[in-house]
Amino acid sequence: MLGREIRAGAPPSSWPQVTSEANPPSQHMLLGHLLDRYESDPELKDESYAAFEAFLGRIYDNFKLNVEWFLSSQASDVMPNTFRWQGRTSTYCLASGMDDYPRAPILTEDEAHLDLQTWMIVSTSVLSRVATVLGKTEDATLYSGKAKTYQETLLDNFWDENRQMFDDFYMDAAGEKQFDGHTGYLNFWPLFLNAIDTSDARFETTVNKLMDTETGLWTDYGIRSLSINDPYYMLGDDYWTSPIWMNINFLITSALYKYGKDATIEETLRSSIASHYATLRLNLINMIVDSYSATGFIWEVYNDQ
């Protein structure tokens, strides 16, 4: 941690960076959004497009190194093509950004984290797209293949058939596969980051669970981090175990907006998604405005009550 202001809010033991531990590569997602705009109108090739291509050329080698570092340093021992956040403890997974969000009940290297699996799908897919723009065909093929493999691994191994949702998994002391079993932001990461095809039956199941008030995430203000029905609700530091986080709610509203306009999605489902998007957006706006009127600030995180 650099700078007196940020260090004032953290103990000295947390100031050094542990080189084996990561954080979510959100910059890769942002680069993907820039590529979306670049690819949206291939006939429009003005100076800004040339500047963007030059920018991609300048960052490519470092971008590739960054992705490869994630793939090697965060690889899980549980099975090939899975990933886990290094540095997790029994109470925290700080690397994930969702600090006290509940994970597996035991500490083991034989676990795989759904959110990181999804991030690696995004990272390798975006790297492949950048390689395509730059004419690096071998890299484009290599990383699109990795993205496809990681997505197949996600669908084959992270889906809890009993609970009908995606989840982290781990091997227990008897060597049996177990899912973490909590319900919250984590379970919907493939939906937030567009890592599941809309034609897959699990897409409809997942989006319906997110929108269903019985799941315990939907509130009159926004989507809470952990289900009100979850036994860990409001426990830990109550940091990611109940509050409404604006960064995640932005991902949710963005995804619902996109899906609500996707003509490949069946009309009834698409209409429901669009309606829930409008409701969630209004709820968030009202919450932010009301809180600003009361406190004079716009916050990153809000009380779910």
Q: What is the pLDDT of residues 70-85, one digit of tens each?
A: 999 999 999 999 999 9
Cα–Cα distance, 290 to 236 (Å, whole number): 28
Longest dimension (CA), the chain: 61
pLDDT digits (tens, 9 = 90+) for 35-74: 998 888 766 667 778 889 999 999 999 999 999 999 999 9
Spatial CA neighbour of 113 closest among 67, 158, 145, 171? 158
Of the two residues 43 and 233, the one the predictor is more confident about is 233
Same domain, 85 and 188: no
Q: Is residue 300 part of a domain?
A: yes
Q: Is residue 174 part of a domain?
A: no
CB 243 within 8 A of CB 301: yes
* pTM of the predicted structure, to 2 decimals: 0.95
* Domain that residue 211 falls in: 182-305
Domain count, the chain: 2
Same domain, 37 and 153: yes
Return the percentage of the chain with pLDDT > 90, whole number: 89
pLDDT at 257: 98
Q: How many residues does the chain have?
A: 305
Q: Residue 39: helix, strand or coil by DSSP?
A: helix
Same domain, 89 and 141: yes
Same domain, 28 and 147: yes
The token pair at 116 is 């990181």
pLDDT at 291 over 70: yes
Mean pLDDT of the chain: 96
Boundary residue ending a domain (158, 191, 214): 158
Same domain, 130 and 196: no
Q: Is residue 286 part of a domain?
A: yes
Q: Is residue 9 part of a domain?
A: no
The token pair at 141 is 């093929």
Task: Provide CB contacts within 8 A for 231, sequence distance 6+.
Answer: none
Return the percentage of the chain with pLDDT > 70, whole number: 99
Q: Residue 99: helix, strand or coil by DSSP?
A: coil
pLDDT at 100 over 80: yes
Q: Is residue 170 part of a domain?
A: no
Same domain, 198 and 302: yes
Q: Is residue 118 part of a domain?
A: yes
Q: How far is CA 95 from CA 18, 99, 168, 254, in A?
A: 10, 7, 15, 24
Cα-flanking dihedrals φ and ψ of residue 130, to 5°? -65, -45
Same domain, 90 and 200: no
Same domain, 226 and 303: yes
Same domain, 90 and 196: no
Amino acid at 164: Q
Per-residue confidence band for 17, with pLDDT thresholds at 50, 70 and 90: confident
Q: How much is the average pLDDT of 197-224?
A: 97
Q: How much is the average pLDDT of 240-247?
A: 98
